[in-house]
């Protein structure tokens, strides 16, 4: 296409169309400028006339580009397009950018162009910013409006990802036609092509926070957008190399999605539309990066001091029950969690990972947790055969002084454990550490004594937090499913990384209120020193053998003098919510046509109730409750923990909840689904056809 340009008195540059001064322009006529005229004709489709000029700036760019081509060797391959004027070998230095005249008009709307006023709100001012290329392209992509290069706008219209939401809505076109030069049109085409390739290679985009909402981020990664941004800020750009198909943020997103969902690499490759090898490399790179730059900051005995644990991560109730008046005792809850693994083809490893307790192959990380749910450290994982029980694992950790644990603990510090750590008592006492553990049943006894039951309740009131922490970690489904053998070497790293995430981005499980915890702890300590007088009365008066009439409670008329209580009052009796939750299930099982059965009156304001065990249908428990007109006075149950005074067992809480609260409700709510209606029972009697019972004629 030949473009004929007329001479001008102002001597504008043929390329940039800027007015040139006499000393800063060069005419394009003559034999000396033949190469320059050929270059302009070939690259920009411009045919200079004898009176056309070029400015020194554009001419210097041309000479720099020509010099770069002379000094750069050209390696021709079968894919080399030697006819392309913009072709440059991969090793060539970046060329200076030349602009061609505005010679192409397209019917695309555009905004105003200028440096003096904002292209959006038309406001004039000296404090204007150049509109970024990304914002210009997003506007064209979403609204089909061109913002010319070099246009200015107010700073308040811009954000990290381009225009703000309000500014994007206010963008309006002024012209119906947009003028392009060759360079600008090629730049727009390249940007569209790059955007198309990016969308093709990534169906889920973590590079832009606006591409996914907060719910999508939480479902995929377990983190909110803000938490994800903060996690990425801990990883330096040099830790994960960007490639054509994935960036550092994409690698972190793929790694978190793998942990959160537990999906295989094949499924992740389909979701992110990249190869399975790229998924594997992304996970490997992200795992190494977070292991080095994130996890050590929020996990391990060296990341938090003992004083910080006492001041910031210890519940006041724990200090009241097991600490001292100076509040200088560090209290940790220790337990092992399970990660199930595939059955290994290596027989020795298979035997070493087979648990006789779970009857499955698994490995066991050891968790060190504060009383608020903050994870101090995760050590392991360990094997789980008889030679690697909880006690031996803990003994090994202290003997080998892993993470300098012996220097972290001090004399009179407390660890709360379960009965599986009984063989660690002597070793911990050598280091001056107190160990709090639930009591054991004595030989030939079927029920804990009152003192042992009360002591056990004090321990379980604090120890439950480690079980909740284990459940929180298993929300990342890769750790909750059967781990493939190929991922066993990284099981410890995955567990530590998830624990660090919980420490950084999850709230405490129960920090407690100082006043309420102090009152509750004082109450529990006072009650733990009492005797169960009702148990002695049952034994002395032989109430368990006394006969009577069992009856059903069909309304408020039965046991009408039983006090009416609220759920908060019942929670003050149970000293927790676990027994109250089980009480509703026990009540549902013992309700028959809205009637509570197996109740016997054995004296003034003394009732006896017979309840079936939730574990064994052939086993039942007897319980007694004494009361007055306004409160519950005493209780006793024949179950394993029924003699304690500190709180109640689930059987007693069920009776109290039904008699004092549930039966007085006008709207009792929907009953739980009867799942047995959806499952067949082989013991159902055979259906008899009515025709068989009719008399024959």
- List, for residues 104-115, the tens digit of each pLDDT value: 778 888 888 777
Give the phi and the psi of residue 335 in degrees, each rounded to 5: -165, 160
Same-domain status, 217 and 312: no
Distance CA 88, CA 76 (A): 11
pLDDT band of residue 663 (cuts 50, 70, 90) is confident
Residue 602 in this model has a pLDDT that exceeds 90: no
State whether 535 and 646 are in the same domain.
yes
Question: Comparing C-alpha atoms, which of 534, 592, 596 is closest to residue 562?
Answer: 596
Is 95 a residue whose pLDDT tops 50?
no
Are residues 166 and 216 part of one domain? no
pLDDT level of residue 92 (50, 70, 90 thresholds): very low
Burial readout 206-245 (b: 16 or more C-beta within 10 A, e: otherwise)? beebeebeeeebbebbbbebebbeebbebbeeebbeeeeb
pLDDT score of 81: 42
Q: Which domain holds residue 544?
A: 531-669
- Which domain CATH number covers 314? 3.30.420.10
Q: Check pLDDT > 90 for residue 91.
A: no
Which one of 66, 101, 136 terminates a domain?
101
**Mean pLDDT to the nearest integer, 71-77:** 47
pLDDT at 592: 67
pLDDT digits (tens, 9 = 90+) for 227-285: 999 999 999 988 998 887 788 999 999 999 999 999 999 999 988 888 899 999 999 99
In this prediction, residue 71 carries a pLDDT of 59
Task: Answer whether residue 684 is part of any domain.
Answer: no
- C-alpha 304/C-alpha 326 separation (Å) is 21
* Nearest-angstrom CA–CA distance, 60 and 15: 13
User: Would residue 116 count as lying in a domain?
Assistant: yes
pLDDT score, position 467:
94
Residue 682 lies in a domain: no
Q: Is residue 379 predicted with pLDDT exceeding 90?
A: yes
Q: Check residue 469 and give its pLDDT.
A: 95
> Can you give the pLDDT at residue 368?
97
For the chain, the domain total comes to 5
Which percentage of the chain shows pLDDT scores above 90?
45
Least confident of 31-45, 68-82, 538-552: 68-82
Region 188-208 average pLDDT: 70
Do residues 108 and 97 both lie within one domain?
no
Mean pLDDT confidence for 119-126 = 83
Q: Are residues 255 and 280 in the same domain?
A: yes
Distance CA 428, CA 390 (A): 14
Residues 403 and 460 in one domain: yes
pLDDT score at 340: 95
Task: Determine, yes or no, domain membership for 695.
Answer: no
Mean pLDDT value across residues 180-201: 70
pLDDT above 90: residue 475: yes
For residue 185, pLDDT over 80 is answered with: no
Q: Are residues 626 and 542 in the same domain?
A: yes
| Residue range 304-328, pLDDT digits in tens | 999 999 999 999 999 999 988 788 8
For residues 578-593, average pLDDT: 81
Most confident of 21-30, 86-95, 199-208: 21-30
Query: Which of 276, 293, 310 lies at the terminal end of a domain, its last residue?
Result: 293
Higher pLDDT, 493 or 47: 493
Average pLDDT over the chain, rounded to whole?
Answer: 83
Considering the domain architecture, whether residues 250 and 288 belong to the same structural domain is answered as yes
Claim to verify: residue 187 and residue 118 sit in the same structural domain: yes
pLDDT single digits (tens) 3-12: 444 444 678 8
Q: Are residues 78 and 117 in the same domain?
A: no
Report if residue 642 sits inside a domain. yes
543-577 b/e with 16+ CB inside 10 Å = b? Answer: beeeeeeeeebeeeebbeebbebeeebbeebbbbe
pLDDT in tens, 617-649: 778 889 999 999 889 999 999 999 999 999 999
In a shared domain, residues 483 and 336: yes
User: How sure is the predictor about 303, in pLDDT bands with cuts at 50, 70 and 90?
Assistant: very high
* Per-residue pLDDT at 329 exceeds 50: yes
Position 694 in a domain? no
* pLDDT recorded at residue 173: 83
CB 305 within 8 A of CB 370: no
- Domain boundary, last residue among 458, 478, 512: 512
Same domain, 283 and 171: no
- pLDDT, one tens digit per residue, over 531-567 is 999 999 999 999 888 888 888 776 666 788 889 999 9
The answer to the question of residue 690 being in a domain is no
| Residue 77 pLDDT exceeds 60 | no
Q: Note whether residue 520 is domain-resident.
A: no
pLDDT at 670 over 70: no
Q: Over 50: is that where the pLDDT of 696 sits?
A: no
């Amino acid at each position: 296409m030949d473009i004929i340009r007329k001479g001008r008195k102002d001597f504008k540059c043929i390329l940039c169309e800027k007015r040139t001064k006499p000393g800063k322009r060069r005419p394009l006529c003559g034999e000396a400028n033949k190469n320059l005229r050929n270059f302009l004709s070939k690259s920009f489709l411009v045919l200079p006339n004898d009176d056309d000029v070029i400015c020194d700036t554009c001419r210097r760019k041309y000479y720099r580009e020509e010099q770069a081509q002379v000094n750069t060797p050209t390696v021709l391959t079968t894919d080399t397009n030697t006819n392309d004027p913009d072709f440059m070998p991969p090793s060539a230095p970046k060329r200076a950018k030349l602009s061609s005249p505005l010679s192409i008009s397209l019917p695309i709307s555009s905004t105003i162009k200028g440096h003096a006023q904002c292209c959006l709100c038309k406001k004039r001012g000296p404090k204007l910013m150049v509109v970024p290329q990304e914002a210009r392209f997003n506007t064209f992509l979403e609204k089909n409006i061109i913002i010319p290069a070099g246009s200015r706008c107010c700073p308040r219209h811009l954000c990290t990802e381009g225009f703000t939401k309000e500014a994007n809505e206010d963008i309006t076109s002024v012209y119906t036609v947009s003028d392009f030069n060759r360079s600008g049109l090629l730049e727009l085409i390249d940007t569209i092509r790059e955007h198309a390739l990016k969308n093709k290679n990534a169906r889920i985009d973590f590079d832009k926070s606006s591409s996914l909402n907060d719910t999508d981020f939480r479902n995929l990664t377990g983190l909110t957008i803000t938490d994800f941004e903060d996690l990425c800020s801990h990883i330096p750009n040099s830790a994960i190399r960007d490639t054509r198909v994935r960036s550092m943020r994409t690698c972190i997103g793929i790694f978190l999605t793998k942990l959160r969902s537990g999906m295989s690499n094949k499924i992740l490759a389909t979701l992110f539309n990249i190869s399975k090898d790229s998924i594997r490399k992304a996970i490997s790179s992200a795992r190494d990066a977070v292991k080095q730059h994130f996890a050590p900051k929020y996990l391990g005995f060296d990341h938090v001091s003992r004083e910080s644990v006492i001041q910031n991560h210890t519940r006041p109730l724990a200090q009241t029950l097991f600490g001292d008046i100076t509040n200088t005792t560090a209290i940790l809850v220790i337990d092992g969690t399970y990660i199930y693994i595939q059955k290994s083809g290596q027989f020795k490893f298979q035997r070493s990972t087979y648990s006789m307790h779970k009857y499955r192959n698994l490995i066991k990380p050891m968790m060190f947790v504060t009383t608020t749910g903050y994870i101090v450290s995760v050590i392991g994982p360990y094997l789980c055969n008889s030679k690697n029980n909880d006690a031996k694992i803990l003994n090994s950790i202290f003997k080998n002084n892993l993470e300098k644990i012996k220097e972290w603990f001090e004399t009179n510090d407390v660890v709360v454990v379960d009965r599986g750590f009984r063989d660690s008592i002597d070793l911990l006492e050598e280091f001056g550490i107190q160990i709090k553990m639930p009591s054991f049943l004595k030989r030939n006894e079927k029920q804990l004594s009152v003192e042992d039951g009360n002591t056990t309740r004090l321990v379980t009131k604090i120890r439950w937090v480690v079980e909740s922490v284990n459940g929180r970690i298993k929300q990342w489904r890769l750790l909750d499913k059967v781990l493939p053998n190929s991922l066993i070497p990284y099981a410890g790293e995955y567990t530590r990384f998830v624990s660090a995430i919980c420490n950084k981005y999850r709230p405490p499980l129960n920090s407690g209120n100082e006043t309420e915890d102090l009152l509750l702890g004082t109450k529990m300590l006072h009650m733990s020193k009492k005797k169960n007088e009702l148990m002695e009365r049952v034994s002395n008066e032989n109430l368990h053998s006394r006969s009577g009439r069992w009856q059903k409670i069909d309304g408020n008329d039965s046991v009408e003098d039983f006090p009416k209580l609220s759920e908060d009052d019942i929670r003050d009796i149970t000293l927790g919510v676990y027994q109250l939750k089980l009480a509703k299930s026990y009540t549902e099982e013992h309700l028959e046509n809205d009637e509570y059965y197996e109740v016997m009156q054995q004296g003034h304001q003394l009732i006896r109730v017979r309840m079936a065990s939730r574990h064994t249908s052939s086993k039942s428990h007897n319980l007694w409750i004494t009361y007055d007109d306004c409160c519950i006075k005493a209780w006793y149950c024949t179950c394993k923990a029924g003699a304690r005074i500190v709180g109640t067992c689930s059987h007693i809480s069920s009776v109290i909840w039904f008699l004092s609260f549930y039966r007085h409700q006008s709207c009792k709510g929907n009953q739980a689904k009867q799942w047995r209606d959806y499952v067949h029972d082989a013991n159902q009697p055979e259906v008899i056809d009515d025709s068989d019972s009719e008399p024959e004629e």
